[in-house]
């Protein structure tokens, strides 16, 4: 089946125009991305596709909030599962249409994926991930009182719900996903980082949390023995000194260089940081190489013509690493 790549699609990248966030607009964007994935398959790669769902979960929860009084709220873990199915359907249909048009005898299948987290993860005591829409203080206090939400004020813009974002520990359906890939299917899985579950005496139980989809994609890549982890985002390449006059785009990094840039603050937690960390985790567990690029340049990036490639081990000497670190400065926080 050729080499295996895990391709992680960002949930925000499915929304090109914030004035048009309806599902058909997202479907049109998915079709564009799936042309790239189908072309990758056509060149001989086998692919597992993951995706984000942050905005989509927010939309779904907002719809439920607007229906308060008529229908019950949607528990967060169910919202993650719902959007896994909906976005999976869009990717699955778009890929199969592309395969048919290209004469590729392959099928795509969506796996609603559960991901185990530790019930003692510190994130459960310190929820930080904003989700859903802004609320007035009165609305926030009501949800906190009646629904047990943790709410915080967000920079004077209103109040928002915050939820835990625990570390992924295990892909529950990992073996099944690997079997599907070995049988020739394109697996769409671990959507939105997976449905977070905890284990109690061997039984699974969903929890109200969200898992970073890049960290889950990294874990999946290890679990299925992927040769390449590709994370698509809103920029063609990773940059240092982002947004500054001396901004510099990077096309190739060793793991050690990426770690040094990360430590120097070039890849902040709110955007590029988790993507770089996800690849470093994958490489640290024996992975071969990672790529960060935009959805439209997926094929060119895999060919080495675009994107930022991070490889291991390839560590620079202590002298060059020290020199590299001290030459770095902090980064702008808008790189996505």
Instruction: Using the structure block, give the residue that is written with the tokens 């980064």.
Output: 331
Q: Is residue 163 part of a domain?
A: no
**Average per-residue pLDDT in the chain?**
87
CATH number of the domain that 92 lies in?
Answer: 3.40.1160.10
Q: Is residue 204 part of a domain?
A: yes
**Among 212, 223, 229, CA closest to 292:** 229
Q: Is residue 134 part of a domain?
A: no
Q: Is residue 263 part of a domain?
A: yes
Q: Is residue 138 part of a domain?
A: no
The pLDDT of residue 186: 97
Q: Which residues are catalytic?
A: 11-12, 129, 213, 275
Mean pLDDT to the nearest integer, 220-248: 90
**Among 151, 147, 101, CA closest to 129:** 151
**Among 166, 206, 171, CA closest to 191:** 171
Q: Is residue 332 part of a domain?
A: no
Determine the length of the chain. 336
Tokens of 83: 């959007």
Domains: count for the chain:
1
Q: Is residue 157 part of a domain?
A: no
Rounded to whole angstroms, the Cα distance separating 97 from 109 reads 13
Please state, for a pLDDT cut of 70, what percent of the chain lies above it.
Answer: 90
Q: In this predicted model, what pLDDT tens digit does every residue of 34-80 receive, in sequence order?
A: 999 999 999 999 999 999 887 888 788 888 878 878 888 889 999 99
The β-bridge relationship of strands 203-206 and 168-171 is unpaired
Q: In this predicted model, what pLDDT tens digit does every residue of 287-334 receive, in sequence order?
A: 999 999 998 899 999 999 999 999 986 533 222 333 343 334 344 444
Q: What one-character-per-residue DSSP string does 254-308 give?
A: EHHHHHHHHHTTSS-TTTHHHHHHHHHHHHHTT--EEEEE-GGGHHHHHTTSSSE
Q: In this predicted model, what pLDDT tens digit does every residue of 99-141 receive, in sequence order?
A: 999 999 999 999 999 999 999 999 999 998 888 778 889 988 9
Q: Is residue 40 part of a domain?
A: yes
Please state, for a pLDDT cut of 90, what percent of the chain lies above it.
Answer: 60
Q: In this predicted model, what pLDDT tens digit does every residue of 143-154 receive, in sequence order?
A: 889 888 899 987
Rounded to whole angstroms, the Cα distance separating 210 from 204 reads 16
Q: Which domain holds residue 200?
A: 4-115+169-326
């Amino acid at each position: 089946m050729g080499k295996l790549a895990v391709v992680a699609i960002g949930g925000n990248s499915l929304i090109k125009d914030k004035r048009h966030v309806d599902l058909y607009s997202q479907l049109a964007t998915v079709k564009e991305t799936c042309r790239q994935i189908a072309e990758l398959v056509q060149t001989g790669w086998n692919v597992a596709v993951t995706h984000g769902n942050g905005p989509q979960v927010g939309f779904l929860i907002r719809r439920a909030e607007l229906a308060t009084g008529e229908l019950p709220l949607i528990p967060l873990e169910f919202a993650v599962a719902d959007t896994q199915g909906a976005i999976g359907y869009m990717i699955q249909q778009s890929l199969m249409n592309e395969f048919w048009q290209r004469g590729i005898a392959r099928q795509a299948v969506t796996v609603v994926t559960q991901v185990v987290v530790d019930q003692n993860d510190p994130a459960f005591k310190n929820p930080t991930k904003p989700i859903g829409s802004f609320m007035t203080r009165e609305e926030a206090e009501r949800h906190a009182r009646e629904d047990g939400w943790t709410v915080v004020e967000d920079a004077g813009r209103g109040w928002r719900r915050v939820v835990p974002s625990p570390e992924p520990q295990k892909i529950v359906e990992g073996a099944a996903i690997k079997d599907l890939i070995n049988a020739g299917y394109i697996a769409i899985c671990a959507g939105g980082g997976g449905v977070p579950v905890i284990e109690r005496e061997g039984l699974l139980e969903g929890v109200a949390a969200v898992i970073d989809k890049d960290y889950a994609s990294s874990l999946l890549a290890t679990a299925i023995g992927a040769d390449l982890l590709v994370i698509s985002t809103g920029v063609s390449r990773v940059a240092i000194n982002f947004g500054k006059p001396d901004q510099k785009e990077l096309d190739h990094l060793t793991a050690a260089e990426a770690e040094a840039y990360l430590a120097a603050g070039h890849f902040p937690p709110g955007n590029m940081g988790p993507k770089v960390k996800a690849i470093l985790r994958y490489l640290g567990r024996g992975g071969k190489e990672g790529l960060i690029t935009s959805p439209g340049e997926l094929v060119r990036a895999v060919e080495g013509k675009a994107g930022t490639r991070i490889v291991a081990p390839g560590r620079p000497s202590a002298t060059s690493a020290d020199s590299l670190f001290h030459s770095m400065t902090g980064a702008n926080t808008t790189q996505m």
